[in-house]
Amino acid sequence: MSSYARPGRAKAPVRTRPGLYMKRTKRQAKIIKNSKRRGEWAESVFMARAAENGLPVSKPLGDSDTFDCVVGRPGKFVGVQVKCTMAAMKGGKGFVCSVKSNNKGYRAGAFDFLAAYVIPEDAWYIVPAKLIRGQQTICLASPQGRYEEYREAWHLLREAAAWEEMEEPETQPSAEGPTATRMRASFNFIRNYLEKGGS
């Protein structure tokens, strides 16, 4: 289970004793202070979210490549660099996301897409690499931001990888929480993929 609480989720009152109810309060998000561990966590969240969106995703062994994950199938892989941010902009709405490695911008061809996770907003930005080339930081989740059209733009990965989404069977709504729902969707995707002869 994630060590982060999802922001904006209201809790229902809890019955503590007959006739007594106590309102649940939002749990304060536990912050992973180590940036490498936070980055690893963001990569795992990206992989789960990509699978939820019907995308085949893999992680290369080690961390010496210029991309963190690949999306697609043999013959059409797309390299994805995963970043995350919690750094609010000073004096305005939005978050600053670092898009550099070892204090240098990424070289052309290092990856195909940036997948940037704005943790407080629980929002992913799927940005083509050519749009951030030469930059070291970008502003996300800003009303006048130039990357807002890429918020939750999972279709860009699907189109770039030329991937046809498999049909998912209809599921009944349940009372389980959002984390359990995401895990179930990921497991269902893998099961369906394997049943249809995936390898």
Domains observed in the chain:
33-163 (3.40.1350.10)
What is each CA distance from 170 to 8, 19, 195, in whole angstroms?
27, 39, 16
Q: Mean pLDDT of residues grouped by 10 in the chain (199 residues)?
A: 46 51 52 83 91 89 79 87 89 86 81 91 92 88 86 92 58 68 78 72
Contact call for residues 84 and 119 (beta carbons, < 8 A)? yes
CA of residue 143 relative to chain centroid, distance: 20
Q: Token pair of 155, please?
A: 């279709």
Q: What is the pTM (predicted TM-score) of this model?
A: 0.65
Q: What pLDDT does residue 23 have?
A: 54
Q: Token pair of 66, please?
A: 């210029």
